[in-house]
Amino acid sequence: MKINKKKFIYLISPNRITKNFYKNLKLVFKTNKVSIFQMRLKKYSMNQKMIIGKKIKNICKVNKVYFLVNDDPWLAKKLDADGCHLGQNDMKIKEARDILGNKIIGITCHNSIKLAKIAIKSNPNYLAFGAFNKTKTKKTKYQATTKILNDVNKLTKIPIVAIGGINSNNYKNLLLNKADFLAISSYIWNNKKYKPKQAIEILR
C-alpha cells in the first residue's frame, strides 16, 4: 500500500446511502485527496451491501481509490474488494489473510500499544487508532492522544490511520504527529455548512 502524502484521506461511507451519495462520491474522488474508501454499513442486508458495494467498487476503480469492506472478509472476497478492515471483535488477521490472500487488511487498535504489538506480529497493512476526538458516527469507548502515534511510529513502519471526529479544525495536528491517513466520515457526509466536495477541499 503506497502512501501518497497528498492523498491522506481514508474516507468511510455514511451510515445511510442516499440517492445523491454516488454523485457526491465521484465529486469527492475527483479532488484527488482520497487513497482508501471503506464501506461500513451496519443496517443493511447482505443483498443490499452487495448491490451498493458493486457500485462503489466501480467508482473506486475509475478513480484509483482502494475499496475496503468493514468487518467482513467474506463479503470483501465476494465483491473482489481491495481488502477489509477488522475490529478487535472480528476475525483474526491470519484467518482473514487465508480468505483474502495478499489483499489489504487493516485493524483497529483503539488507544492501545499492547494491541498494536499483537497486531504487528500478524503483519497487517495498516493500524488504526482512535477516537482522537468526539464523534457522532459511532459510540466510542476509547480516547486516543497523539502520544500513541509517536509511540507506534517508533515500533513499526506499518502505516497508521487516525480516526474519530476529525475535521478541518483538528486534522493538521494528526498529520504533524505522523498519522499516514485520516479516517473521516461525518465531516464529509453530514457537514451542515459544506457539501461533501467543498468539505474535502478545505483539507489541504
Are the CB atoms for 162 and 148 separated by under 8 Å?
no
| Residue numbers of the domain that contains 103 | 9-201
Is 4 within the bounds of a domain?
A: no
Is 52 within the bounds of a domain?
A: yes
Instruction: Using the predicted structure, report yes or no on whether residue 139 has a pLDDT greater than 70.
Output: no
Number of domains in the chain: 1
- pLDDT value of position 134: 80
Is 2 within the bounds of a domain?
A: no
Is 1 within the bounds of a domain?
A: no
Ranking 106-115, 126-135, 156-165, 172-181 by mean pLDDT, the lowest is: 126-135
Peptide bond into 131 cis (omega under 30): yes
Give this prediction's pTM. 0.96
Instruction: Using the predicted structure, report yes or no on whether residue 9 has a pLDDT greater than 70.
Output: yes
Instruction: Using the predicted structure, report yes or no on whether residue 37 has a pLDDT greater than 80.
Output: yes
Are the CB atoms for 111 and 148 separated by under 8 Å?
yes
CATH number of the CATH domain containing 195: 3.20.20.70
Are the CB atoms for 182 and 174 separated by under 8 Å?
yes
- pLDDT value of position 138: 63
Is 3 within the bounds of a domain?
A: no
Long-range contacts of 80-87 (CB under 8 A, 24+ apart): 81/39, 81/53, 81/57, 83/125, 85/38, 85/40, 85/128
- pLDDT value of position 106: 98
Instruction: Using the predicted structure, report yes or no on whether residue 140 has a pLDDT greater than 80.
Output: no
Q: Name the one residue in this structure whose C-alpha cell is 484509483.
A: 64
The predicted model gives 9-37 an average pLDDT of 97
Confidence of residue 136 (pLDDT cuts 50, 70, 90): low
Q: Distance (Å, rounded) from C-alpha 106 to C-alpha 127?
A: 6
